[in-house]
Amino acid sequence: MRILLIEDEPAIARTIERGLSAHGHQLLLAESGEDGLLFLETETVALVLLDIMLPGMDGHETLAQIRRLRADLPVIMLTARDDLGSKVGALDAGADDYITKPFAFEELLARVRSLTRRADQKQASTLEFGNLRIDLLSHRVWRDDVPVDLSRREFALLEYFARHPGHLLSRQQILSAVWEYDFEGESNVVDVYVRYLRTKLDRPGEPSLLTTVRGSGYRFDPPGP
């Protein structure tokens, strides 16, 4: 599994990296919240370990930004102090769990396991981004708890976007994933269906969930909480 560690202390980062890779995980290391967010925009990450005391943007601010990008991404905060305030603060800010440094590595592993198990179960049945909820089993969609009625193809297109939040997807990629054939030549079928989805999902006065990237394709920008 791919884990992003946002931690500025090299000794701690090395220890965590050694331990996690010994258990078959791949670690991406960012030394600041800003760098961590860049990774999240470009890499596939299954879980984040986030230090609170960071240079520049601190852990709480970083967490708020992570939540804006990926509402459902499991985040464990690393708190240096054993003080209740910072733990409660971490959970209030949307962390899934926290662990106090120094910690036994087995404890960290156990928390990683438990969170990813939960995430897997959730991932299997629903995708959630702020006020947009997609049930992959029943093929139902809600915006602000209001059901949105989608055709089979519209749902497939939305699901494809939702599985690649923030990624630029070309028309060709979308065609072969959602229409399942390699379409040669000109077709505006993707544009037509994107328009259907916008009509059904977007809210007046707010930016569209589906951004047109001129000359390239489309990008799904998840709504905020």
Note the residues at the interface with Ca ion (CB under 5 A).
Answer: 8, 51, 53
> Residue 83: helix, strand or coil by DSSP?
coil
Helix (H, G, I), strand (E, B) or coil at 208: coil
Residue 116 beta carbon to Ca ion: minimum distance, rounded to whole angstroms: 24
Q: Smallest distance, Å, CB 77 to Ca ion?
A: 11
Indicate the residue among 17 and 51 with the shorter CB distance to Ca ion: 51
State yes or no: cis peptide before 102, omega within 30 of 0: yes
Q: How far apart are CA 8 and CA 53, in angstroms?
A: 8
- 5 versus 20: smaller Cβ distance to Ca ion: 5
**SS3 category, 188:** coil
Give the relative orientation of helices 33-42 and 59-69 as an angle to the nearest 10 degrees.
20
Min. distance of Cβ 50 from Ca ion in angstroms? 10
* Shortest Cβ 9–Ca ion spacing (Å): 5
Least Å distance between CB 89 and Ca ion?
Answer: 16
Nearer residue to Ca ion within complex by CB, 35 or 51: 51
Q: Which is nearer to Ca ion, 9 or 159 (CB)?
A: 9
Separation between Cα atoms, residue 207 and residue 51, nearest integer Å? 32
Which run of H or of E encompasses 27?
strand 26-30
Helix axes of 10-22 and 105-125: crossing angle, nearest 10 degrees: 60
Nearest residue (CB) to Ca ion, 11 versus 124: 11
Closer residue to Ca ion, CB minimum distance, 46 or 79? 79
132-135, strands of its sheet edge to edge: 126-129, 132-135, 140-143, 146-148
d(CA 160, CA 91): 31
CB of 159 to Ca ion, least distance (A): 38
